[in-house]
Structure 1
Amino acid sequence: MAGGNAIRGSRVGAGPMGENERGESAPRRTVSYYCANGHVNSPSFALGEDFEDPEIPLEWDCPRCGLPAGLDPENPPEPMRNEPYKTHLAYVKERRSDAEGAALLEEALAVLRERRGDVEVVAAD
């Protein structure tokens, strides 16, 4: 068979890909961010119309360690302080004193006893 596929030996996307096929890339500005672990990250931001500076964020997350990175190499931002997980009970205890908690518990138990028909309990003052 002398025939065959006309594009034999090539693959999708193969061939020259220069700016004349893609178009010109937008002008960019590279900014360096520094984290507390000494990593340097340099993302580039596309300039706006009339080549004005883009809005550059003051902080950027470091892709290597995840800490916040800032523009000042001498003063990188402090790592965020993670608070330990709190249960619902811990949050309730922050809002209520032990006496208030005991009063609420006694009130709830009295409602349950009344609903069940148990012996009536006189609330203490």
Structure 2
Amino acid sequence: MVGGSAIRGSRVGAGPMGEAERGDAAPRLYISFFCSNGHETRPAFAADAVIPEEWDCPRCGLPTNRDAENPPPPPKITPYKTHLAYVKERRSDDEAKAILAEALDSLRNRRAAGEVIY
């Protein structure tokens, strides 16, 4: 053996990684979850784990449950409200007109006094 080494071409920790070295795999359960788009998801759980009632679909993001005939409905999404929509909920039209008139009077008085307003 010319310049040979018993561990040539290998590294520390290298070798077959079979069940003998790693130990036995934990027993697993594959549970089916269904979303309202008809997708089926089968995540793996440990045999002694508590199985959740709902799961998120990895394809569409909708909630899922274990009942294929009656999947949960998609969540209701409220549309984005602008600042003006929130103001209109708090103020009536008459109050808005009064506030606008007050702001315009203040602006006109400042301009009349020579204040530079951009």
The TM-score normalised by the length of structure 1 is 0.66
SS at match of 1:65: coil
1:82 corresponds, among 74, 77, 80, to 77
**Aligned match of 1:95:** 90
How does the TM-score come out when normalised to structure 2? 0.69
Q: Which residue of 2 aligns with 1:106?
A: 101
User: Amino acid of the residue matched to residue 60 of structure 2?
Assistant: C
Partner residue, 1:28: 28
Q: Secondary structure at the match of 2:29?
A: strand
Instruction: Find the counterpart in structure 2 of residue 122 from structure 1.
Output: none
The runs of 5 or more residues in structure 1 that have no matched partner are 120-125
Q: Closer, same or farther in 2 for the Cα pair 1:97/1:65, shift >3 Å?
A: same
Cα-to-partner distance string for 1:36-93 (whole Å, 9 max, x where unaligned): 111111112224xxx4xx3322211111122211111110011122333222112222
Distance 2:107 2:50 in 1: 61
Q: Paired residues, what number?
A: 111
- Please state whether the residue corresponding to 1:79 is helix, strand or coil: coil
Q: Report the secondary structure of 1:101's partner residue.
A: helix
Partner amino acid, structure 2, of 1:35: C
Deviation at 1:117, TM superposition (A): 6.6
Identity level (%):
61
Return the alpha-carbon distance in structure 2 between the equivalents of residues 12 and 34 of structure 1: 45
1-structure distance, mates of 2:12, 2:85: 60
1:102 is displaced (CA, Å) by: 2.3
Q: Report the residue type matching 1:43 in the other structure.
A: P
Alpha-carbon distance in structure 2 between the residues aligned to 1:100 and 1:4:
94
Q: Tell me the distance in 1 between the aligned counterparts of 2:97 and 2:26.
A: 67
Mapped to 2, the partners of 1:11 and 1:98 lie a distance apart of: 79
Quote the offset at 1:16 in angstroms: 1.5
Q: Could you say which residue in structure 2 is the equivalent of 1:61?
A: 56
